[in-house]
Structure 1
Amino acid sequence: MNRLFKYSFLTAAALTLLSGCDQKLNVAPTQSIDDVAALSTSKDVEVTLIGCYDGIQDGDVYGGAFQYVSDLYGDAGEIRFGGTFANLLEIFDKQLTTANSTADVTWSDTYRAINRCNNVLSALDKVEEAKKARIEGEARFIRGSLYFELVRLYAKTWGDGDNAANLGVPLVLEPTRSVTDADYRKRNSVAEVYAQVLDDLTKAENLLPATNTIYATKNAAAGMLARVYLQQGNYASARDAANRVITSGRQRLVTPFSSLFYTFLRNGGANPAEYVFSMTVTSQDGTNSLNTYFGATVSSIPGTAGRGDFRILPAHRALYGAGDTRGEFFQVAANNTFTQKHLDRFGNVPIMRLAEMHLIRAEANFRLGTTVGAAPLADINAIRARAGATALTEVTIADILKERKLELAFEGHTLHDIKRLKGKVGALDFNSPRLIFPIPQREIDANKQLTQNVGY
C-alpha cells in the first residue's frame, strides 16, 4: 500500500479536528471530503478520469520514465550516460540501491494513478449510460497498462521460473481512501498480475470506441494486449491483437520517418497518423522526460531542449545500413551525438506506433509459420521501405529482431526485449537480480507484508 495514501488521510483527519475549534472553520476541508460526495455525479467521475490521464503524464510514469529506464537499464555499449544524477547512474551501472529515487517515485506515482482508476471504476453507477462503456474502458486500459509496466520492472520476467510462485507486485483493485491493516497488501504472483492485466485490457478493448480524440481507443487496448502477449511468448494472441490494430485502418505508416517526431515544433502539437497512443504535452501541461534526458539544446533548431545526459555511441549508429534514413536521424551538438526522436521540448511522448504492430505481427507469424494479415517479409519490407532501406528478398528471425531494434530505438523496449528473448545485458544474464528494480525501502518500512527482491 502506498505510503502517500496514508499521509493524505492523516492530514485530512488532523484538519478535520482543527476545524472544530472555531465556528467559522466548521467546514469540511477538501482533503477529507466524503468519497460519496466527491463521486456523486457523472461529471465528478469524468473529472476523476481526466485525473487518471494526468497521473500517467507524470515524468516518472508514461511521461518518460517507463521508457528511458528500459533503454538505460538494458544498455550495453550503445548509450553513454553523461549526467550527474546518482539515481540514473545507478540504473546505467546496474547497481541500484533500495533508496533509488527513480524506483521509489515511479512506484508511488504509478500506484497513485492506479488509485484514481479504481475510484472511477467504483463509481460507474453514477455515470450517464451513454458514457459508461467508454469511461470504464479508459480506466481499465490505464490500470491494466500500469500493472504491466510495474510487474516488468519490479519482478522477475515472465517465464523466469514459476510464474505462479514468483513475486509480482501488490494488486490493489479497490479505492484506497483510508488506511487500515487490511490495506497493507502482500505481493501477488507474477501470474496473478498478468492475469489482471489481460482481464483489464481485454475488457477495455471491448468497451472503448474506435476514435476518442487524444484518449485511449480500441486500438490502444489491442496494441497493449499485443505487447503483453509478446512478452509472454503467446505468439498467436500477439499476432492477432496486432493484426486487429493494423487492419482497422485507423492508423497508417507515415513518411518520411522524421515526420513521426517533432510533434510540437513541426506539427502544431498534433500526433502523426501512425501514433496509436501517446502522452500529449503542451507548453502548459504534461511532461516529456525523454526530452529531458535524451534531448539537448541545438542552436540550429529553435525549440529544442534537454539535459543531454543520454548520448548515442558509434556502436549503435553502425547498426544501420546504407540509405537507411533512421541511421541519419541523429544530431551532433557539443561533440556529443543525440537521437532526434526526443529533441522537441514540448513534443508528445509516443507510447505506441503502428510500426510496432507490424513488427509484432511479423515476429509472431514467423515463429508460428503463418501469414495472418501479411507474410513476415511484407511487414518487414513495409517498415524498411518507409526508412529508405533496401528491401529484403528473404527474412530470418534475426532480421526481424534487428529491424525491431532499429525502428523502436530509444522508445523504451530494450530491457524488456532482452528479457523476453533471454539475452544478456553486457555480462549479465537476462534473469540477473541486478536487472530488477528494488521494492522501494520506504514501502518496505511502511508495509511489513512486502517482501524485498533478491539481492537487495
Structure 2
Amino acid sequence: MKKTFYTLGMALFLAAPLTSCDKKLAIDPVNNVNADKALETSSDVEAALVGTYTGLQAVGSYGGYIQLTSDLLADNGEESFVGTFSDPPQIFRKNILRDNGFVSTIWINAYSTINRANNVLANIDKLDSSAKRSRVEGEAKFIRAALYFELVRLFAKDWSDGTPSANPGVPLVLTPTKVLDASSQVKRNTVAEVYTQVLADLTDAETKMKAGGALPAFAANSAAEISTFAAAGMLSRVYLQQNRFPEAADAANRAIAGPFSLTSTYAAEFRSGASNTTEDIFAVQISAQSGSNALSTFYKTRGDVSIEDKHFNQYGTTDERRTLFTVTSGKRLSGKFDAVNGVGSNVKVIRLAEMLLTRAEANFRAGTTVGATPLADVNRVRARVGLTPLVALTLPAILLERKLELAFEGFRLGDLKRNKESVTEPLPGTAVLPWNSPRLIFPIPKRETDINPNLEQNEAYK
C-alpha cells in the first residue's frame, strides 16, 4: 500500500481548527494542544490525544454534519430539508456544487483530526508505561480509522461498485504533516487501499486497548473513551459495508459482550444530556463548553428537517419511537435529539441497539447464530419500544427495523448502497437514481482540487 502526504491544503494545517465551535475549547488548554507542536513528555502525548478527541466533537464530524449530510443524500422522500442554510438543499436534491460548505467542512475537519492522530502515533514511545502506550495507540488508530471510513464512503464509490482496487478513494496520510511542499501534491489512494488501512487500524486498536490502562483524565465513564468494544463495533460496520457477513457478526458479537444494556425507553437513550447511558458503547461528549450536537439543532430547534408521512407511517401505532415526533407550524419534526437544559445530549456514535441489529442481519445473511438467533436480536430491540415480538423473520423485516431504530443517525447512505436501493430525485421528483449513481457521492472540495492538480475530481463534478 502506498503512503502519501497531503496538501489537503486547508485541512492542514490544523490550524484551521476544525470549526468555529472549536473556539470554545480555548478555555481548557489541554484540549488546545497544537498537532504540530513538538511532544516531549508522556503528559504531552496524552494531552495531544485529548486534542484529537475534540476533532470528533466538532460540528463537521460526529457533531452533526457527517450524519445529516449522508442521510440527506440518501433520502428517498422520507424527509425534506426546509431550513434556510444554502448548502444542505444541494445535498438533499443530489445536485451538489464543488464549493459546498458542509462538504468542505467534513473534509477539512477529518484531515485535521487525522493529522492530530498521526502526531500522537508518531510519539507513542514517549509515553511512560506500556499500558499507556497500548491504550493511546489504540484510541488514536480508532479515530484515524473511523474518519477514513467516513471519508471513503462519502467521497468515493461504494465497496460493491465496480473494482475497489481500481476505484479512487481518498488520500491516505499516515504520518504527521507539518510542512506543505511539493511532496504534498498527492493522488488519491484506491478504495481498497483505504479499506485495508481502516481494517488494519481497527484490528490493531481492538487488540491494543485490551491492554487498557487507566482512563484518560477527561473520561467521565467508559463510554466517553474509545474502548476495545468500540473498535469491535466499528469493525462490524466496515465488514457489513463490505458484505463480509461472518466477520460482521463476529465483530458485533464482541462489542455486545461488553458491559452494555438497552435503556429502559428509547427516549432515555437520546435525552441523557451530558450523561452517557448503559447503551452507549462510544459517545462523543458534549457540554456548554465543548463540542456540538447539531442534530438537535437541525432536527428540532430550528426545524430544518421535516419528516414526511412516508417515513412516519412506517412506525407501528404502539411504537414508542413514533411518539418522539411532533408537528409544529405544519412541519413534522423529530424530537429524538431534543436538547437537555439547553445543551444537546452526547452524540451516540456506537450503541448496543445498532450492534444487535448488525449481528441479526449478518447472522441471517450468513445462515449462522453467533451469539444469538437473528429473531432474538430483532425482538430484543422491538421489545424496548413496545412492539410485539415477531414469530418469523425476513431480511426486509430486519432492514426495516434497522432503518427505524437508527433513523437520522447517519446510516441511510451506507445501507442504501450496500443493499443496492435506488432513490428518486426530489425535484422535480421523477428521475430515479440507482444506488451507484455518481450523484450519490460528494465532490472533492473545489479548494482542494484547486490547490492540488493531482487530486482527481469525482465523475459527476468534472
* Residues 6 and 398 (structure 1), Cα distance of their counterparts in 2 relative to 1, 3 Å cut: closer
SS of 1:272's partner is coil
441-450 vs 1-10, which moves further? 1-10
**Aligned residue for 2:68?**
68
- Distance in 2 between the 1:68 and 1:105 partners? 13
Q: Which of 203, 217, 222 is 2:227 aligned to?
A: 217
**Aligned residue for 1:334?**
329
Are the counterparts in 2 of residues 67 and 413 from structure 1 also a CA contact under 8 Å? yes
- Distance in 2 between the 1:263 and 1:386 partners? 17
Describe how 1:27-176 pairs up with structure 2 within 5 A: 38-129=38-129, 130-176=131-177
- Distance in 2 between the 1:220 and 1:34 partners? 24
Are the counterparts in 2 of residues 9 and 177 from structure 1 also a CA contact under 8 Å? no
Q: Structure 1, residues 60-86: CA drift from partner, whole Å, max 9, x if none?
A: 111111111121111111112111212
**Aligned residue for 1:235?**
245
Amino acid at match of 1:251: F
- Distance in 1 between the 2:162 and 2:35 partners? 45
SS of 1:252's partner is coil
SS of 2:276's partner is coil
- Distance in 2 between the 1:390 and 1:397 partners? 18
- Distance in 2 between the 1:109 and 1:346 partners? 20
- Distance in 1 between the 2:344 and 2:439 partners? 33
Q: Which of 280, 283, 288 is 2:285 aligned to?
A: 280
* Residues 321 and 34 (structure 1), Cα distance of their counterparts in 2 relative to 1, 3 Å cut: closer
1:392 aligns with 2:390: yes
Amino acid at match of 1:72: L
**Aligned residue for 1:184?**
185
Q: TM-score, normalised on structure 2?
A: 0.88
Q: CA deviation at 1:335?
A: 2.7
User: By percentage of residues, which structure has more helix?
Assistant: 1
- Distance in 2 between the 1:246 and 1:444 partners? 42
Q: CA deviation at 1:153?
A: 0.1
SS of 1:263's partner is coil
Q: CA deviation at 1:346?
A: 2.2
Q: Structure 1, residues 250-299: CA drift from partner, whole Å, max 9, x if none?
A: 111121111111122xxxx2111001111111111111111121122xxx
**Aligned residue for 1:294?**
299
**Aligned residue for 2:270?**
261
**Aligned residue for 1:23?**
none
Amino acid at match of 2:331: N
Describe how 1:244-393 pairs up with structure 2 within 5 A: 244-248=254-258, 250-264=259-273, 269-296=274-301, 307-344=302-339, 345-393=343-391
Q: Which of 432, 442, 445 is 1:437 aligned to?
A: 442
Describe how 1:8-27 pairs up with structure 2 within 5 A: none
Q: CA deviation at 1:165?
A: 0.2
Q: Which of 9, 32, 41 is 1:3 aligned to?
A: 9
Matched-pair identity in %? 48
CA RMSD of aligned residues (A): 1.8
* Residues 149 and 362 (structure 1), Cα distance of their counterparts in 2 relative to 1, 3 Å cut: same
Q: CA deviation at 1:5?
A: 5.9
Aligned length: 419
Are the counterparts in 1 of residues 271 and 345 from structure 2 also a CA contact under 8 Å? yes
Q: Structure 1, residues 351-374: CA drift from partner, whole Å, max 9, x if none?
A: 111001110111011111111111
195-204 vs 335-344, which moves further? 335-344
Amino acid at match of 2:287: T
Structure 2: give runs of 5+ residues left out of the alignment. 1-6, 17-31, 216-220, 425-431
Q: CA deviation at 1:166?
A: 0.2
- Distance in 2 between the 1:6 and 1:93 partners? 30
Describe how 1:193-204 pairs up with structure 2 within 5 A: 193-204=194-205
SS of 1:165's partner is coil
Structure 1: give runs of 5+ residues left out of the alignment. 11-30, 297-306
Q: CA deviation at 1:321?
A: 1.5
SS of 2:336's partner is helix
Amino acid at match of 2:46: E
SS of 1:55's partner is helix
- Distance in 1 between the 2:402 and 2:186 partners? 38
